[in-house]
Amino acid sequence: MKRLNRQLLKRAELPKDVIVECQTDLPERVIQFGEGNFLRGFVDWMIHQLNRAGKFSGRIVAVQPTPFGKVVPKLNKQDGLYTVVLRGVVNGDVVETYEIISSVSRGVNPYTDWQEVLKVAENKEAQFVFSNTTEAGLTYLREDYRGSSPQSFPGKLTAFLYHRYRAFDGDPEAGMTVIPCELVEDNGDTLRDIVLQIAQDWNFPEDFIHWIQAHNRFCNTLVDRIVTGYPDDAAVLHERLGYYDELLTVGEPYHLFAIDADGPVQQALPFHEIGLNVSWGAFDVLRDLKVRILNGAHTMMFAVGYLSGANTVRDVMDDDLLKQFVRQGIYEEVLPSLNIEAERKTSFADTVLERFSNPFNAHFLVDIGMNATNKFRTRLLPTLADWVRHRNTLPDVTVFSLAALIAYYHPVRLEEAHLIGSRGEEEYRIRDGGEVIRFFYNVWEDYKNGKTDLSLFVQKVLGNRTVWGTDLNELPGLSQAVHDNLRKIERTGVKQAVKQIIEEKGNGTTWTS
């Protein structure tokens, strides 16, 4: 089967329902740090839509952010082309679209071709920076700059911007608009602060620091689209498309891009003019809705679902009991703890459940479970803490999900940088930061070897401030409740324990939806 590339576009007859409006000769106007699923199915797809509408006329250079990337060679083999498949239910109708995306001109591996990255800095037409390097990428790393590619993403950006500053002699007009997409609160401000810190570490001149502050915009953003990436039914899709695409990118039709940016950015990137769901300006409420409801529910379900035998979000939604668990968590615990107008939060939750029930949504629970302790801290702990503060009781579903998370972090062995857990005969990888991994390995070993009993084990786990950012034992009753839930899980397994929780809470008729 022929591979997707420019030649194929010239020669092949493609199925009629594949959207092919490719512009493969537009100038490079964007540099993007990251080439992962999310950027390809979201930002790059949006820039492609702007190009199709004649409202941007520019392409993207995608820079690989770590030495271990595998996407850049694939992108270049396909001349930057790839297919976005959007599958889901919109207003009750099943929607499935196929579109060849041509907004990426090429990929660059900065570890072998750093000069190519610097050449983009010398191109005045390149005025935008996008990124998604996961939360782990948007962090400060103290490192030296010796003229080759820095390790960290902010280090690369600092070196890139310094080269540009020098190439254009500090021209204010050469300043860039930087739009990071990492799910980090105030991601634009955070990135700017790290860049400024690195500029100081490297003794770059004060004038450069002034140029960054005065003439480069760093926008805070919030992104929302479930992009599951390369599908498990790729062979079927290739057959249907009639060509081979190593970068097939599957996502849902829903998308939301909130960008806190002023008029000139809105005019330069007029997403709103072509019907894309982009919100300009401050987005505090949207962030709370998205992170607390959608991401919160994901974190609430991943361990409970996985240890109950489900593999994907869709499996959870197809199981009456697990679905009830998620619904109770959202409607009875997360929503009451959000100080947002009732109709708005309920309607957002309804949409989230509809998105989770997307029949095509093969979103793997083990992927959602990566770095789950940190996700619990940012996505569910606010619900838990708020509940305790206002009601002096504990939210059962959220607390159970914490116990299930701890059970999920139960290793059968330590393997290099991660733990191996087991679900019956099957093994899975427990992926988290090195310190978290070592901590869970040690506490579970002590418990299994009888050095601690379950009460002390739970107290140790909840008391680790590095893991949770706080001592969770200080929440009244939490330690006992997690202990009781873990005991139930030990005795009956997760699924039976969930059943008990649901039955104790009643049949759920109090749900808003």
Ligand X SMILES: NC(=O)c1ccc[n+]([C@@H]2O[C@H](COP(=O)([O-])OP(=O)(O)OC[C@H]3O[C@@H](n4cnc5c(N)ncnc54)[C@H](O)[C@@H]3O)[C@@H](O)[C@H]2O)c1
Ligand Y SMILES: O=P(O)(O)OC[C@@H](O)[C@@H](O)[C@H](O)[C@H](O)CO
Binding site for ligand X (CB under 6 A): 34-38, 65-66, 69, 132-137, 153, 183, 223, 225-227, 229
CB of 222 to ligand Y, least distance (A): 9
- Which residues are CB-contacts of 348 (< 8 A; sequence separation ≥ 6)? 289, 290, 293
Give the residue from 133, 135, 34, 131 showing the smallest Cα distance to 378. Answer: 135
- The residue (of 227 and 436) whose beta carbon lies closer to ligand X is 227
Helices (H), 259-395: 263-268, 284-288, 296-307, 313-317, 320-327, 342-356, 365-368, 372-375, 381-391
Q: Considering the rule CB under 6 A, would residue 286 count as an interface residue with ligand Y? A: no
- Contact region for ligand Y (CB under 6 A) — 43-51, 149-157, 187-195, 292-300? 292-300
Residue 102, helix vs strand vs coil:
coil
Is residue 446 classed exposed, middle or buried when 0-12, 13-18 and 19+ CB atoms within 10 A define those classes? middle
Cα–Cα distance, 410 to 422 (Å, whole number): 8
What are the residues facing 224 on neighbouring strands? 256
CB of 226 to ligand Y, least distance (A): 4
Greatest extent of the chain over all pairs of C-alpha atoms, in Å? 69
Among 32, 295, 373, 398, binds ligand Y (CB under 6 A): 295
Report 114-173 residues binding ligand Y (CB under 6 A).
Answer: none
Q: Considering the rule CB under 6 A, would residue 49 count as an interface residue with ligand Y? A: no
- Contact region for ligand Y (CB under 6 A) — 50-58, 187-195, 290-298, 419-427? 290-298
Q: Considering the rule CB under 6 A, would residue 226 count as an interface residue with ligand Y? A: yes
- ∠5-9-11 over CA atoms, to 5°? 115
Q: What is the phi-psi region of residue 385: left when phi exceeds 0, alpha when psi lies from -120 to 50, beta otherwise?
A: alpha
- Which residues are CB-contacts of 496 (< 8 A; sequence separation ≥ 6)? 488
Q: Residue 87 belongs to what H/E stretch?
A: strand 82-90
CB of 401 to ligand X, least distance (A): 19
Tell me the residue number closest to ligand X, measured at CB: 36
Q: Considering the rule CB under 6 A, would residue 368 count as an interface residue with ligand Y? A: yes
Residue 58 interacts with, from ligand Y, ligand X, none (CB under 5-8 Å by kind): none
- Contact region for ligand Y (CB under 6 A) — 105-113, 170-178, 222-230, 491-499? 222-230
Residue 66 interacts with, from ligand Y, ligand X, none (CB under 5-8 Å by kind): ligand X
- Owner of token pair 């107290």: 459
CB of 452 to ligand Y, least distance (A): 31
CB of 482 to ligand X, least distance (A): 27
- Contact region for ligand Y (CB under 6 A) — 57-65, 223-231, 278-286, 415-423? 223-231
CB of 93 to ligand Y, least distance (A): 22
- Which residues are CB-contacts of 399 (< 8 A; sequence separation ≥ 6)? 384, 478, 481, 482, 485
- Contact region for ligand Y (CB under 6 A) — 122-130, 174-182, 294-302, 383-391? 294-302
- Contact region for ligand Y (CB under 6 A) — 13-21, 220-228, 403-411, 504-512? 220-228
Residue 35 interacts with, from ligand X, ligand Y, none (CB under 5-8 Å by kind): ligand X
Based on DSSP, count helices (H) and strands (E) in the chain, helices before strands: 25, 17
CB 51 within 8 A of CB 97: no
What are the strands of the beta sheet with 418-423, ordered from one edge?
A: 413-415, 418-423, 426-430
Tokens of 351: 């949409």
Residue 298 interacts with, from ligand Y, ligand X, none (CB under 5-8 Å by kind): ligand Y
Q: Considering the rule CB under 6 A, would residue 298 count as an interface residue with ligand Y? A: yes
Q: Considering the rule CB under 6 A, would residue 312 count as an interface residue with ligand Y? A: no
Cα–Cα distance, 281 to 296 (Å, whole number): 24
Q: Considering the rule CB under 6 A, would residue 289 count as an interface residue with ligand Y? A: no
Residue 370 interacts with, from ligand X, ligand Y, none (CB under 5-8 Å by kind): ligand Y
- Contact region for ligand Y (CB under 6 A) — 221-229, 446-454, 455-463, 481-489? 221-229
Among 35, 79, 224, 319, binds ligand Y (CB under 6 A): 224
Q: Residue 168 belongs to what H/E stretch?
A: none
Cα–Cα distance, 511 to 327 (Å, whole number): 8
Q: What's the half-sphere exposure (Cβ side, CA atoms, 13 Å) at 217? A: 17
- Owner of token pair 């379950």: 454
CB of 286 to ligand Y, least distance (A): 12
Residue 80 interacts with, from ligand X, ligand Y, none (CB under 5-8 Å by kind): none
Residue 182, helix vs strand vs coil:
coil
Residue 132 interacts with, from ligand X, ligand Y, none (CB under 5-8 Å by kind): ligand X
Q: Considering the rule CB under 6 A, would residue 304 count as an interface residue with ligand Y? A: no
- The residue (of 75 and 365) whose beta carbon lies closer to ligand Y is 365
Residue 59 interacts with, from ligand Y, ligand X, none (CB under 5-8 Å by kind): none
- The residue (of 134 and 358) whose beta carbon lies closer to ligand X is 134
Residue 419 interacts with, from ligand X, ligand Y, none (CB under 5-8 Å by kind): none
Among 181, 183, 199, 316, binds ligand Y (CB under 6 A): 183
Tokens of 283: 């987005």
* Residues within the interface to ligand Y (CB under 6 A): 183, 224-226, 294-295, 298, 368, 370
